[in-house]
Amino acid sequence: MKQIAGIDPGSFVIATAVCDEDGMLLRTFLAEPPKQRVNLALSRLCPLITEFRKHLSPERLDFCYIEEPIYCGSFKATVAMGMVAGAIVVALEDVGIPYSFVGNSVWKKSLIGRGNATKDEIKAWVIARFGVDSDMRQDIYDAIAIAEWGRRNFAKD
């Protein structure tokens, strides 16, 4: 049974969800670095990727879809998101899991009908589709939606 992951990279968090080819949500996980008051981006990136890699296994994941980094109103946050996305790619390459990037407006339009869907619309769609709890972090809802988009589009890649 194929397993497809959706990954939502934040500025210093990585939300991941895994669906099987039949659309069953198998698992979610959130990688965060240890809480520390350090301003250096790389000092937080290394523990973040170490935590993320604990969940990677080519025997358990057939493909990963990563949301493309976007400009998020702050140069520092945008650079951090790009660094996280790059580190995710290195981790996936290192363990041999294939991946592709997907724009957030692409998966939002496909699943919700609007490329600029709001966080509340995404959350509502994920809860209705998968029956998950309503008190999760938004990053997890996004990762679940990305995984579902990936599942629907996996054969087309």
For residue 79, the domain's CATH number is 3.30.420.10
Query: How many domains does the chain divide into?
Result: 1
Q: Which domain holds residue 32?
A: 3-156
Q: What is the CA radius of gyration of the chain?
A: 15
pLDDT tens sequence for the chain (157 residues): 899 999 999 877 889 999 999 999 999 988 877 665 444 455 666 666 777 777 777 678 899 999 998 877 788 778 878 888 888 898 898 888 999 999 999 999 999 999 999 999 999 999 999 999 999 999 999 999 999 999 999 865 4
- In Å, how far are 7, 28, 69, 117, 138 from 60, measured between CA atoms? 15, 13, 25, 31, 24
With beta carbons less than 8 A apart as the criterion, state whether 110 and 152 touch: yes
For the entire predicted model, the pTM comes to 0.88
